[in-house]
Amino acid sequence: MTYQSPIQLGVLGCGRIVTRRMLPSSEHCDAVTIAAIASERENVAQTTAKQFSIPNAYSSYEEILQSSEIDAVYVPCTGDQHHRWVIAAAKAGKHVLCEKPLAPSVQEAEEMVAACGENNVLLQEAFMWRHHPRAETAKQLLQQGEIGNLRLITVNFSFNIDRSDWRLRPERGGGAMWDLGCYGVNASRFFTDAEPSTISAAAHWWETGVDMTMRIGLSFPNDVLANIDCSFEAPFRCRLELVGDDGRIVIDPAFQPGDSPTLQLWRSADRDAPMETITSNSIDQYTCQLNAFAAGVKAGHLISPAENGLQNMKAMENILNAAKASR
């Protein structure tokens, strides 16, 4: 199918990430038009549609999937609902941009990927940070040998959440690793261009059964080690460091570039090596993600560095199993 610009996108939900991130960012994206939004909560879609000038508002997700005017959908609902709606969208012939993590299990993720493949639609996992120019700059510096051979990746991501938050409920796909650790796993795979060969993990578990804090160790076949920690009971931290044998790169905050995105670069292993600050384009990362998704829809395949999510899911399920085994 040949798609005209812009891609007509329907949004299945009106949660925080939709109203605080995706909809404001879409206003700066010429490649995508938010053509419809739905919510299963009474009058929420109608109110949101009015606020963001969205032409169509529905009280069920099915109505969006049945619309012949919609090319693709964004699935922002909780992880336990991804499987249902991604497969429904695929069967309706809609391309899918699905929030992370892709699913609560590898089995569900495999079924989602298979359904999208069988129906010739794209499935892209919404790791927005990969599409920002700062991530591209960091990877280019790495590939150009500016810090020598990559040897160590460290990622810290935490914030303290309300103990009534749905992310502490296992039946909703909760847990610090699913919500925050997925970024560190994704970043490690992104910067190594490889999958982990060995995994270790340990966690502090909440009374509901989900991990509240987790420590993850990954070894990659290209002699890179990754140390990742994530937590729902620690102060806000969002930091990534790439350590080579001849320098290092620090990105802080790592996955939230803000209005003045920068990274710090040391081109030498010397203790007193000078630090360089490199500034990236201030474009919104959700706008970048929408542009990349639209380009993929038109091309008929994911465009690098887009993530289909299955490999990340396999790594995370192995991590969770390792943490449970060490409990």
The string of DSSP codes covering 224-277 is EEEEEEEESSS--EEEEEEEETTEEEEESSSS---SS-EEEEE---STTPPPEE
Mean model confidence pLDDT for the chain: 96
Q: Measuring CA to CA, how many Å separate 17 from each of 31, 214, 244?
A: 20, 24, 35
Angle formed by the axes of helices 106-118 and 310-325, nearest 10°: 170
Mean pLDDT, range 235-256, rounded to an integer:
97
Q: Answer yes or no: is 312 within a domain.
A: no
pLDDT at res. 5: 81
Q: Answer yes or no: is 278 within a domain.
A: yes
pLDDT tens for residues 126-159?
A: 999 999 999 999 999 999 999 999 999 999 999 9
| Domain co-membership, 247 together with 160 | yes
Q: Answer yes or no: is 169 within a domain.
A: yes
Q: What number of other Cβ atoms are within 10 A of residue 8's Cβ?
A: 19
| Domain co-membership, 259 together with 190 | yes
Beginning with the edge strand found earlier in the chain, give each strand of the sheet holding 262-266 in spatial order.
198-205, 211-220, 224-231, 150-158, 237-244, 247-251, 262-266, 276-279
pLDDT at res. 58: 96
| Domain co-membership, 86 together with 176 | no
Mean pLDDT, range 61-72, rounded to an integer:
97
Whether pTM > 0.85 for this model: the answer is yes
| Domain co-membership, 11 together with 77 | yes
- Residue 301's pLDDT band (cuts 50, 70, 90): very high
| Domain co-membership, 244 together with 293 | no
| Domain co-membership, 250 together with 207 | yes
pLDDT at res. 1: 65
Q: Read off φ and ψ for residue 65, nearest 5 degrees.
A: -65, -30
Question: What is the number of domains present in the chain?
Answer: 2
Q: Answer yes or no: is 323 within a domain.
A: no
- Residue 323's pLDDT band (cuts 50, 70, 90): very high
- Domain extent, residue 106, equals 7-128+287-304
Q: Answer yes or no: is 2 within a domain.
A: no
| Domain co-membership, 198 together with 292 | no
Choice among 70-74, 171-175, 220-224, 288-292 with the minimum mean pLDDT: 171-175
Residue 160 DSSP code: -
| Beta-strand runs (E) in the chain | 7-12, 32-38, 56-58, 72-75, 95-98, 123-125, 150-158, 198-205, 211-220, 224-231, 237-244, 247-251, 262-266, 276-279
Given a contact cutoff of 8 angstroms between Cβ atoms, the answer to whether 273 and 174 are in contact is no
Q: Answer yes or no: is 158 within a domain.
A: yes
The CATH number of whichever domain residue 24 belongs to comes to 3.40.50.720
Mean pLDDT, range 177-181, rounded to an integer:
96
CA 119 from centre of chain: 23
Q: Answer yes or no: is 16 within a domain.
A: yes
Q: Cα separation of 194 and 25, whole Å?
A: 31
pLDDT tens for residues 194-242?
A: 999 999 999 999 999 999 999 999 999 989 999 999 999 999 999 999 9
Given a contact cutoff of 8 angstroms between Cβ atoms, the answer to whether 121 and 93 are in contact is yes
Task: Please determine, for residue 3, whether its predicted confidence score (pLDDT) is greater than 80.
Answer: no
pLDDT at res. 256: 93
Given a contact cutoff of 8 angstroms between Cβ atoms, the answer to whether 12 and 73 are in contact is yes
| Domain co-membership, 19 together with 147 | no
Give Cβ neighbours of residue 182 (< 8 Å, ≥ 6 apart): 100, 101, 312, 316
- Residue 298's pLDDT band (cuts 50, 70, 90): very high
| Domain co-membership, 66 together with 24 | yes
Mean pLDDT, range 26-39, rounded to an integer:
96
pLDDT at res. 2: 67
| Domain co-membership, 65 together with 145 | no
Q: Answer yes or no: is 111 within a domain.
A: yes
Task: Please determine, for residue 47, whether its predicted confidence score (pLDDT) is greater than 80.
Answer: yes
The CATH number of whichever domain residue 256 belongs to comes to 3.30.360.10
Q: Read off φ and ψ for residue 294, nearest 5 degrees.
A: -60, -40
| Domain co-membership, 220 together with 246 | yes
Mean pLDDT, range 70-85, rounded to an integer:
95
Total residue count of the chain as it appears in this document: 327
| Domain co-membership, 218 together with 250 | yes
